[in-house]
Amino acid sequence: MKTESTAKYVMRLALTLLVITSVVAVALAGVNSVTEPRIAAIAAEKTQSAIEAVLPGGGEQVDFTDDSGIVSAVYQGQAGYAVEVVPAGFNGGITMMVGIDNQGTVLGICVVSNTETAGLGAIAGADTSAGEAFRSQFAGTSGSVAVSKDGGQLDSITGATITSRAICTGVNAALACVANQG
């Protein structure tokens, strides 16, 4: 008799849990269907702003060849290319746009999103003097870029060498991708 009541109790708990999770799943699906178009529109606006920030006049998406696995999109305009790259940083991917002119020189970089440590790696994408100083070093570079700790010409962000190296990796992947376009 005691076994039957325990079985009924467990069954009742399982059914209650099933009902609760089903209601929550339906609610989440509803919220997702309402917010998904707005999230996509915001992401498209951010991408367009990043393209215009690094490539005067913007550009249209083109097919590309990428041997690095880091390049996610290439946009071609009159002045050159805007290349979206996602190198691996300290805390995850760093989505950034790299502008490269038709001669293979970096016009600029724009960090679209990152999950780097606040006050350290996140400085790379911050709208602060330190962030702008770090990003501005890339303008005018070509060939291959590296931080000074790796024998390169660029200063890394203090305390964020991994992030600085990741940004260099992204720029190098963009440069190589554009070189393959020609």
Q: Tens-digit pLDDT profile for the chain (182 aa)?
A: 466 788 889 999 999 999 999 999 999 999 999 999 998 898 889 989 999 999 988 888 899 888 889 999 999 999 899 999 999 999 999 999 999 999 999 999 999 989 888 888 888 888 899 999 999 999 999 989 999 999 989 988 988 889 999 999 999 999 999 998 76
Cα distances from 154 to residues 121, 136, 149, in angstroms, run: 15, 10, 9
Report the distance separating Cα 32 and Cα 109, nearest Å.
Answer: 32
Report the distance separating Cα 13 and Cα 10, nearest Å.
Answer: 5
3-state secondary structure of 98: strand
Cα distances from 8 to residues 1, 12, 16, 17, 63, in angstroms, run: 11, 6, 12, 14, 61
Take residue 84 and report the two structure tokens written for it: 């979206």
